[in-house]
Amino acid sequence: MGKAIQDYQELITKRVATEGGQSVEHKRIPDHLRQQSKMNITSLIHGSFGFVLEEDNANQLDMFETPTRKALGFITDLLQEVADADGRIFEAKLDNLDAPIFQALKNFISTLHKAGSTLRVAEERREIKLDTSSVDRAFNRVAHVNIEENEDVVHGELLGLVPIQRRFDFRPSDVHEVIQGRVAATLSAEYLNRIEKEGLIAGGLWRATIRTKNVRHPDRRHTSVSRILIDLVRL
């Protein structure tokens, strides 16, 4: 159970880091984000082998939903979707799921499966339950998924940028193919809006850092490619 809690905590931490625009590689997550996303065991659940987890700062009153609570909601959705009999929602989410978060999910599901465990997650307003067959289904699903990411620095022309939808179009100098994709959370909305308002999109040379993600889906026949704009500098 200790390994499962550790894997679950790592899943929360990586989601909080991603939403905050930080790298989700294990060694690069800032200490303050690890502390912010920390969950404490506050009591045991009688009649079953389970724990009550609370945020490290749960005693503080917040007017708004904390990043950790938002991450917990996302993770609960993800666990429900990966174990659902209809895997289409989970498959549709894979193209936008960061590789380190998927790996943390895979580790957590694998730990549950290896131990023959079931899972019950009870939030303030909802509850999900994964029985043994659901955990088996989730394990078989993640076991057949592979996500690979590579980052490249590319010089070329920025053809289009939509700050609200966080989409971009970029044409590298050495090829005629136009690269399209979404913009990473690390590029602030303020920065994207300034580029658009100052008319810097049409023409000109830019240096773009683009992450290419290849996803092998659970059917083992379907592979998708997506791209994320990580950084953008005018030359």
**Which residue ranges make up each domain of the chain?**
2-143, 148-234
- Determine the average pLDDT of the residues in 143-148: 90
Average the pLDDT over 115-125 and give the result.
Answer: 83
Q: Taking each helix axis from N to C terminus, what angle separates 67-83 and 132-143, rounded to the nearest 10 degrees?
A: 90
Q: Which CATH architecture has domain 148-234?
A: Beta Barrel (2.40)
Q: Evaluate if residue 219 carries a pLDDT over 80.
A: no
User: Which tokens hold the place of 125?
Assistant: 């307003």
> Exposed/middle/buried for 155, CB within 10 Å: 0-12, 13-18, 19+?
middle
Q: Is the pLDDT score of 1 beyond 80? A: no
> Taking residues 85-105, what's their average pLDDT?
89
**52 DSSP β-pair partners:** 43
Q: What is the pTM of this model?
A: 0.76
Count the helices and strands in the chain (H runs, E runs).
7, 9
Q: Looking at residues 32-60, what average pLDDT do you find?
A: 51
